Structure 1
Amino acid sequence: LSHHLRTEKEIFDKLRSLEFNNATIKAANARLKDEKYLDDKIYAENFVRTQANLQAAGPLVISQKLKLVGIPNTDIEAALAVYETNDQMENALSLAEKYQKHYSKNSIIKQKQKINQALYAKGYDSDLIKATIDKLVFEEDNQQQLENARRTINH
């Protein structure tokens, strides 16, 4: 508990691995909850804020990660409610701009595909991804397009 917040499932799994019986584990969890050291709702809220602010993760990835550590769906939904669409759009747009620079040597179609894939992998839904890509400005670089075509033909 001293390093960071834990979930009830994490405590259960750790104590189980140390071969404590179920009654002892339940008593330990109950005491930790009573003393406010263990709260899955607070864990979920902090996790959502951290993932959104530091990782720019989308709600789908955050939800999956919370499920893996045993957070109930109701707590996940409540925690994700704080991650507003505007904040998601801001994070997705920042990521998309970064990916756009990274894939700038590709054709515009390829850039859009790569950005779409990257944002999807980060956990954003398709509607938000489409809206994000629509906000980007793509410029045709005719010289780069010609080099891409030559490279494709020569391979």
Structure 2
Amino acid sequence: MNQKITSITAQKRPGRFNVFIDGNYAFSVSEDVLVKFRLSKGKELDAADLEEILKADNLSKALNKALDYLGYSLRTEKETRQKLAKEGLEVDIIESVIRKLTEMKLLNDSEYAKSYVRTMAKTTDKGPRVIANSLREKGISPYDTEDALLEYPAEMQMENALKLAKKTVAKSKKKSFNECNQKITQTLLNRGYSSELASQVRQSLNLTRDDNQEYENLRLLTEKLWHKNSRINLTKRRNKIKAALFRKGFDIYECDRILDELENAEADN
């Protein structure tokens, strides 16, 4: 049985309209749906028409939610699907929205990935592996990721890695020369740079060991550990301290000499 639209009124919310059938409120639609189905006073609708109209309006509302979400920042297809799913939308509606956004060129994982890589390369100290992992989590395909990483050339990687290495050196003044080098390598690897690049960075820094500084760092750390472990049996105390200093890259023979001095000074007291 057909039903006749008796009136259509605008909501306070811009772009939304209330549709009345036989004098009673029936449903609301967006302006796009109103125009698409040529809804007007006197138009007759059957059950199939109503189902199609409501489905189109649900799609319209979902699309608007997606457009609001995309208005803040570029997003990937995966991120957009997850956002719409959290809104409680059905899978078929979500997929229709994704197709529409793709047609509108508002979703493009390939372009998103390139833009993301360029931004990360210019504004962070992250290496390509970490960036690639982030793209994978965002749902970017391996092919698009590999293509996007071309936006992060070797020269820029070297420049960023070198800056990061210099910061690491500045923070490692109290460490042994060996530990400082290890710290540089580990930091670069953790940030996503390759071991080959880490080696190139160390060579570029051309760090040299300062024997006086190395001895002073060893002496200060040995004294600290000596007092920290004062309640331990002397033999265990020495072995524990030597093991700790060895792990930190210090010369074990120099350590023994300093421990002898500390032990003698303690005996004299």
Q: Any unmatched runs of 5+ in structure 1?
A: none
| 1:142 to 2:206 alignment | no
TM-score of the two chains, using structure 1 as the length reference: 0.94
CA drift at 1:35: 0.8
Counterpart code for 1:114: K
Find the aligned partners of 1:83 and 1:142 in 2 and give their Cα distance.
39
Q: Any unmatched runs of 5+ in structure 2?
A: 1-69, 226-269
Match of 2:191 in 1: 122
Counterpart code for 1:118: T
Find the aligned partners of 2:191 and 2:114 in 1 and give their Cα distance.
19
1:2-151 aligned at under 5 Å gives the runs 2-151=71-220
Aligned CA-pair RMSD:
1.2
Deviations 1:33-52 (A, max 9, x none): 11111110111001101111
CA drift at 1:145: 1.3
Aligned residue for 1:71, secondary structure, equals coil
Question: Which of the two has greater helix per residue?
Answer: 1
Counterpart code for 1:22: V
Find the aligned partners of 1:25 and 1:87 in 2 and give their Cα distance.
39
Deviations 1:17-71 (A, max 9, x none): 1111111001101111111111101110011011111112111000000011111
Counterpart code for 2:112: Y
CA drift at 1:89: 1.1
8 Å CA contact retained: 2:158, 2:197: yes
How many residues get paired?
155
Aligned residue for 1:91, secondary structure, equals helix
CA drift at 1:144: 2.0
Aligned residue for 2:208, secondary structure, equals coil
Counterpart code for 1:142: D
CA drift at 1:88: 0.9
CA drift at 1:141: 2.9
Find the aligned partners of 1:153 and 1:103 in 2 and give their Cα distance.
17
- % identical aligned pairs: 37
CA drift at 1:142: 3.1
Find the aligned partners of 1:50 and 1:142 in 2 and give their Cα distance.
42
Question: Which of the two has greater strand per residue?
Answer: 2
Counterpart code for 1:67: R
CA drift at 1:102: 1.6
Aligned residue for 1:19, secondary structure, equals coil
Greater relative contact order structure (CA < 8 Å, 6+ sep): 1
Counterpart code for 2:172: Y
TM-score of the two chains, using structure 2 as the length reference: 0.56
